[in-house]
Structure 1
Amino acid sequence: MPVKKPYKLKFLVQNIKLVDILVALVLVFLFGLLFLTKSRTTEQIYLELTNLDPNSYINPIPPEYWQIQQFNLGDAVYIDGNQFGSVVDKEISSAYADRQYVFLTIKASVLYSKALAAYQINNKTLRIGETVSLNINHTKFDGKITDVYTDPANRSFSSQTFSGEITIRYKNLEPEHAVAIQDFVQKNSKNEIIAEVIHSQIEPAKVITNNYFGDIFEKRHPRLKDITLTVRLPKITCAENDCYFNRLQPLKVGYPIWFSSQSAGIGLPLQIHTSGIPDTATIIDVKINWP
């Protein structure tokens, strides 16, 4: 025996019309729009970005100098054809050859979503580590966000800087190269010192060889040199438990690192090349001056 629908429910179903459904949908939409409007506010923020390759974790490859020379303070910044900010700071540090690290600070007007606890532009969430495609001075800039903050005097932990020292070792250098880099100083585009040698030790390079009987032993190279340097780093950027030189070169024992300086020794730039690739030093010790 079929079960009959209750009379009241049957009455409601029979009397619901299309216009009632449309009115209900409109009301839901309006309430949702009201909630969205109330939960999103317009705020002024600062975005710090770099256009280093975000897929290269160790010693990320910086762009060539001509790709960043056209960016200037005051340049308008566009996203999807709409202006949303301007460049308020620019820092450049030489990497090697014709490549340079670049960091831009953009003052921008964006939406803050209370529901997501995040800043947004064109529905793009602006979080540290995310990438955003911008247009600056008629040039495409695919930037990796390195920091987001509202007050330059009260920035997030990810941008706190500390001083420290690292000990590094270059191996198998020509003698003139070892002498040239034993007291280098590296500065950025603001003429700030970002790396400075405070101690150096040059010794004959050690090579592993074997004799006629297959015995393996170590001996000194007759010409090449190894050099161990203690380098003072006034500005080390730390994010949680990870610290970086030049903001993106990891400071970990065993990791490679490179520097660039025109003040090295007798004028030779600190850009030692082997087949067009700069030789990197190996980090053998890291000391951070924690507060």
Structure 2
Amino acid sequence: MVEFLQSSVGIIHKNHAESITSFIKESVVEELEDTSSSKPPQKKRLTFCVEGNISVGKSTFLQRIANETIELRDLVEIVPEPVAKWQDVGPDHFNILDAFYAEPQRYAYTFQNYVFVTRVMQERESSGGIKPLRLMERSVFSDRMVFVRAVHEANWMNEMEISIYDSWFDPVVSSLPGLIPDGFIYLRASPDTCHKRMMLRKRSEEGGVSLDYLQGLHEKHESWLFPSKGGGRGVLSVSQLPTQMEGNLPPGIRDRVFYLEGDHMHSSIQKVPALVLDCEPDIDFNRDIQAKRHYSLRK
């Protein structure tokens, strides 16, 4: 595993490769011990992954829940995307996020591998929380269904690299059930809107991200989490579900919930629900109290 990380993933420093290998090995052993333990099961808390295009508003969405929704502060743990880890790798403080955007063909495979590793680390770091609901910014599934697909189609990741990625993605996910959410929250907006918001936030690494790239990411999110006009490849609408499942949904969100399925869908997220929220309008929640109240009720 150490040799693989150094030769194929591109993690140069041996001590980094060894620490990642040890971490993954210990995580798998802990999960297996937990599942085989005779201890009485504890009440399972829910994990939802917040998905969406670059600059759709995921961080703002999570910050408002954490900072402005007093009723939820003791109930919800917010786990933001580990961007800081991507911007500071190793003793030389290498910014792999910046390197990926600057030279995607050189760093796409290395970056996507490291993204996966940091998501595993992040899940383990937050797994001991006591709050009943955990909201995580993105997931290993959006990595695979959206971003890895995008770099592969752009020829930034070749056939050998994506084959290697898939060869360990499935067994690692299958052995770490904590990575599998109870549901997804898809924040949906047009690529044009996301591009405008990206220009406003001015994250230095994203200076070269084009509207065409955002369009491709949008289409991949749509095919994964939202039904198409042709009937919805990969999702089931509530109207297609058994009555007992439909009856568990609040009326206010019943028309916004879809259930993932399909041969292209990872087996671990078959029939997992996805709540789709419209993030197209730019609402000033600090001034428009009525809009803020209406939007919160949709959750």
TM-score calculated relative to the size of structure 2: 0.24
Larger Rg, first or second structure (1 or 2): 1
TM-score calculated relative to the size of structure 1: 0.25
Q: Which has the higher strand share?
A: 1
Higher RCO (C-alpha under 8 Å, 6+ residues apart): 2
